[in-house]
Structure 1
Amino acid sequence: MSKHASHQLRIIGGQWRSRRLRFPAVDGLRPTLDRVRETVFNWLQFDVEGARILDAFAGSGALGFEALSRGAKEVIFLEKNASAALQIKDNLKLLEAHNAQVWAGDALLWMEQNPEPFDLVFLDPPFHKDLLQPAIDKLELLPGALIYIEHEATLKPQFPANWAEKKNKTTKEFTFRLFQVLA
């Protein structure tokens, strides 16, 4: 596959339902599967509209775009890979989405320097890179905030004591979970 090859993802709900967006063929970039996104956004059906959202390790931006399509107030996309970050920006222009920002750089550094309150955080770092635990440790969230995490099925991260797990599912390859910060 050439370095200029691209793939597509489909937005599954909201105002941009069925729209297809391109994303670059980048090593380790794996958009959250349609069926997983459908489950996650069913879990979040009453929590996305009007929410301020952080899509850390955005990759294709699938989760953030899905949230914008469903009425998120704002999405901040963090993506270290320059071509992936550029494609997220291009897709935002294509959709005429003005309530989002893309930060092309290290998500862990950004979270350290910007301890902002978010209503919902998507944490789906590249697998086998030891990024999840440092990301969890850097998050500073207010009570009530939701955190969606996707990780390798074999990984056993440590979560803060004030994070209550609300939902989870595991496949052979990965686990996805939803937490809420308690008071």
Structure 2
Amino acid sequence: MRIVAGDWRGRNLVAPKGEATRPTADRTRETLFSMLASRLGGFEGLSVVDLFAGSGALGLEALSRGAAFCLFVEHDKDAVKAIRHNIAALEAQDRSAVQAGSVLSLGPARQAHELILLDPPYHTGAGAVALDRLARLGWIAPATWVALETASDESLSVRDFTIAAERKVGRAKLWLLRRTA
């Protein structure tokens, strides 16, 4: 697993040990960031949240492409170790924070973020549950872009969100969402 583009292009990332996480494939990440770039225009200066972060590859990809800050949220202790290792290896400590704990235990946001990345376990519905909660707690504003990865055979039903794009990539399906005003 490696960073696809940006300042850290080609740098390797470690994945957590065990079967508790499923890292997003490089090809899927490349497709996702291409979809996002066409809508955002770029990642420079963005405030990003990487939820169900696993190795942190999604958030680190955003940082590599110019995001100003990324909060990584992950509950698996081996995944948290991998995220911290990857942040240190890329010397990104000053542009990131790691919160060890469940996405569903997040409290009210200090501010909405510009990009929310979610890669929950497949076939659990955790992404839709997290979106509903985070929208109510101020993490997601109408201007926020939300990227959600599900299994390719999953459908998505989230209230108060509009599906801006949907694309299958291998075993994954990528969804880009906006909160309805």
1: distance between equivalents of 2:49 and 2:97? 10
1: distance between equivalents of 2:142 and 2:128? 20
Q: Is the 8 A contact 1:169 1:175 kept in 2?
A: yes
The one-letter amino acid of 2:24's match is T
* 3-state SS in 1 of match to 2:99: strand
- Cα drift, residue 33 of structure 1: 1.2
2: distance between equivalents of 1:179 and 1:22? 29
Q: How does 1:3-42 map to 2 (within 5 A)?
A: 9-42=1-34
1:92 and 2:91 aligned: no
Q: Relative contact order: is structure 1 or structure 2 higher (C-alpha 8 Å, sep ≥ 6)? A: 2
* 1:134 corresponding residue in structure 2: 129
* 3-state SS in 1 of match to 2:86: helix
1:80 and 2:78 aligned: no
Q: How many residue pairs end up in the alignment? A: 172
Normalised TM-score (structure 2): 0.87
- Cα drift, residue 72 of structure 1: 0.5
* Residue ranges of structure 1 left out of the alignment (5+ in a row): 1-8
Higher mean C-alpha displacement, 126-135 vs 72-81: 126-135
2: distance between equivalents of 1:33 and 1:78? 19
* 1:157 corresponding residue in structure 2: 156
- Cα drift, residue 38 of structure 1: 1.0
* 3-state SS in 1 of match to 2:154: coil
Q: Which among 91, 98, 104 is matched to residue 102 of structure 1?
A: 98
1:123 and 2:118 aligned: yes
- Cα drift, residue 23 of structure 1: 1.7
The one-letter amino acid of 1:169's match is R
Tell me the alpha carbon deviations over residues 57-88 of structure 1, each in whole angstroms, 9 at most, x when there is no partner. 00011100100101111100001111110121
* Residue ranges of structure 2 left out of the alignment (5+ in a row): none
Higher mean C-alpha displacement, 170-179 vs 81-90: 170-179
- Cα drift, residue 175 of structure 1: 1.4
2: distance between equivalents of 1:88 and 1:149? 19
Normalised TM-score (structure 1): 0.86
Report percent identity of matched pairs: 35
The one-letter amino acid of 2:86's match is N
